[in-house]
Structures are given as structure tokens and as C-alpha cells.
Structure 1
Amino acid sequence: MQTLPAIDLPLIGEKDSTPDTVDGLAFAKLYGEPLFKLPNDLYIPPDALEVFLEAFEGPLDLLLYLIRKQNFNILDIPMAQVTLQYLTYVEQIRKSNLELAAEYLLMAAMLIEIKSRMLLPSKKSTAGDEVDDPRAALVRRLLEYEQMKLAAYDLNTIPQLGRDFLHSQVFIEQNTVLHWPEVEIADLQAAWADVIKRATLVAHHKISREELSVRAHMSSILRRLQSSKFVEFCDLFDTSKGAPVLVVNFVALLELAKETLIEITQAEAFAPIYVRLAYSPN
């Protein structure tokens, strides 16, 4: 924190060099009236004008400012020089604000203590370990404070609502009149074609197992032969029922012939094949 000296005003009786007007305009107003010239009996106290060039948020902030401004190594702080500068600053704020100076005086006492401990001869332990630096605790606090200060600065650079930008709000009046979309026949056809296409993508073919009984077909063939003396071999097969039924029906014929319940005859080569019930003597 630095202060500028107070403004020296000309004494009463001396020649005033203040211009009557500044570019034809009054340089101030007093009770609403333009003031073109300073009064001769105006008194300004010496400490009326005080400008703080630097603002600190606490003792650590001031101490870190003094170290960084003079490019001191924070791990090897020259305590005598820094303490003297710090006490000079504290003396300035103590004259104007005693309550504010109390917090800074505590840090000043700590600096003086560290400076005094550094002046004393160091005592090494019997084990030969290095003696702790009296500045170690202070350096650790300064480094932690600097990290937090830099983090706060980075957070402050992030755009904030209400400071850097505002939410835009637009009121749109809704229209109560419904406007139906214009749909052509071609649009309906295209929509229907799309539905059919999607339906084919999910279509599935289910294969089920059909149970066919050889015994049932054997009974059906026997009933057929009881009503006819001879039946041509091809007439016993119904081609409209598919290959599985034809295969089972053929197996049933073979089983009947094996059990000698039917007879399969042919008059000559390439002649039609006939099937009849087997002859059983009474």
C-alpha cells in the first residue's frame, strides 16, 4: 500500500494562478452553482487526499506482494529486508485504521520472531540431522496462499451470470388458430410404403415340428383298400399334402407289406403297380 502526498495549496495573499474557466466550462459546482475559481479562504487538510495504489486482502497478501515484487526467492526469504518493509507499511495503516492494523501487527510479531531466531546460533542435534529452518512454516503458508489466490483468479476469469452475460428472454405470443399441414396423396403413399418396409425388417419365419404317425397312415391305407379290390400305387399318395406326408405314407406301405397285410403286384415290366389286401384263407 502506498500513499500520495497531500496537495499543497497556495497561501492566502499569494497570487492565484488558477484560470477563471477551463475551456469555457466550470471545473466544479457548489450547491448547483457553477464554480469557475477556487475560494481564497478554502482550507484542505494535509491528509485529505490519500490514494492507495495497492489493495491487500490480509497480512499474507501483503507479505507475498513484497516478496514477488522484489523477485525474492520464496524459499530463501531475506527476513531483515522484508520485515523492515512490512513494518513500514503497518506503521502507515496504524495511523489511519487501528482495527485494521491489529491483524497486520500479529504477522509483524511473527516476522520479528523469525528474524530473531535466525540471528541465534543454530544447534545441531546429536544425530547430525539438519536443523529446521525458522522460515519453513511461513514459507508453507505463503505457498498455500499463493495457490489459493491463483485458483481464485482462474475462477474469476470464468464468465458469470449477471456480471459478464445475461439470460435473454423473449416473449412469444402463441397463436390460437390451428394451421394444419398440407398433405398430398403422394405423401400418404410414401408414408405407407415406409411402414411396409419397416414391417418387413422385423418379420420372422417360425418353423414348427409337425408330428406325423406311421400307424395312422397304415390304418388309412387299410381302410382305403377294404373298399376296393385293387388300387393303383400312385392313387394312394396325395401330392397336395407335401413331401413329409408322402414320405410317411410310403413308409406306412412298406410296413404293411412287411407285416404281410397287403400285396404289391405288377403284371409285367413297366406295367402299373397295384396294391390290394393280402389274401387270408377262411
Structure 2
Amino acid sequence: MTRPAPATLPEPPAPELGAMPDVVDQVALARLYGEPLFAMPTDLYIPPDALEVFLEAFEGPLDLLLYLIRKQNFNILDIPMAGVTRQYLVYVEEIRSRNLELAAEYLLMAAMLIEIKSRMLLPPKKSAEGQEAEDPRAELVRRLLEYEQMKLAAARLNEVPQLGRDVWRAEVYIEQSLQPRFPDVNVADLQEAWRDIVRRAKLVQHHKITREELSVREHMSVVLKRLQGRKFVEFEQLFDAARGVPVLIVTFIAVLELAKEALIDLTQAEAFAPIYVRLAYQPA
């Protein structure tokens, strides 16, 4: 009796070439609008000038000319015009093909170099005094030396620490006191308050003639007693208009003496506001 052959499971179908998987597990090359890309597109176009690399950057014609001279270890006082001009024209031709506006000032310097080279080929002309003519390269050498000095000075200045680039200003948050600070009372405010008190005193004055000895020290004590146990007292409440002008004057002098001796404080909330009097703070 023979045993039946065991049943075999069917093999899964082979994946089709070029088929996209359903789950993206960090194998996509990139994402475009949220969709994964598993292969580089065949119709991708990159413009020729999309990426430009400049190995050397120059700030102007003199900078380029000085770079060529220093790179070849030429003597700046005896510039070989042929070699320098040839190298300069190669660079100018390169930037002219890319940016004509940028090449304009470089073309001007190239014309100057060609003129100097042409003057050097001609026989020198002596001046009227019999002296030899100046070297055609003298003016160019002077400009190059001045430019090199300014460039070195600018480099030294750039090494100095600058605010915002190398150092930053320290900032510390200081919490302000919540207690309001009242403005100081000036002389004009006291004068105006005194005039108002005198005007009201004249309305209730009596024609009784008496002689009374008034003491400033006594009224200073009276003012201090009125301020005892009270936080603020209005300035006008310290004066008793019914007792006449002499008492008002002595009381006013007593208030001034107390303020002078720093026994009381005169404050007001804002300009033209009522004046308040309080006992000065005495530390324990």
C-alpha cells in the first residue's frame, strides 16, 4: 500500500519588473508632492548655468591684477606686462562670456594694460630738461601699492571683534518695583496750593483784632500729630482757614520746615493733581 504524495502549496507569483511596492520603507530616492520616487526621471532637465563654482572671487580689476602679480611672485616695481596682460585677458574673456556688465570695468583695466605695454615697446622720449621719461608702469604701480595697503588695513579691521558677529551685548532682565513712584512736588505747585488756601481764608476772615504769639515749632508738632496713624493727608486739610491768615502762614512755614528736615514727604499722583502729605519713612 503506497502513501499519497503530500500536498504542496502554490508558489507566490514573481514580482513584475518595474512594479512599485505598496509600502514605502525608506527606499525612495526622493518625494515629489508627497509621492515617492524610486527611480530618476528620464525627462529631468538641468540648465547648464544652474550651478557655477568660482574658485577665486575678486572685488575689482585692481584686486585681480594684484592677485596675478602675487601668485606669480612678480616684483610689483618691475611688472612683466606681457605675462600679466595675457593672464588678465584670459580671465576677462571668461567673465565676459557670462556677465557682460560685470566685465565692463575689467575691460577698462585691460585696455590700460595694453596701452602701458604699447608705450613700453616705443623708444623712451626725453623731457625738455634732458631727463628720462617716467616709466609707463609707475602710475599703475602706485595704484596697486595703495590698494594693497587699504586691503591689508581692511583685513586687520575685519579681525577686530564686532558686535553682533563675534560678541553680543549682555541682557539682564530686572523686575521693576510694583510700588508706584509719585512725581516730586516742585515750588510752583506749592505756590499755587498756598494761593488757593489764602483765597479761601479771606472769605471767612474776621475783623477781630487780637494779638497772638504763634510758634513755628508748636505748629510743626501739630502737623506731625495730624499725620500720626494716617497714610496720606491732603495738603489743604493741614490748614484751619477759620483761624485767620497769621495761623495759615505759620502752619505753612511749619510744613516747609518739616519737609526741609525730611520729617514729611510731599507727593502728588500726577501734574496738577492734589498734593498729599505723609510722614517720612523712618527705618527701624
Q: TM-score, normalised by structure 2?
A: 0.49
Higher relative contact order (CA 8 A, sep 6+): 2
Of structures 1 and 2, the larger Rg is shown by: 1
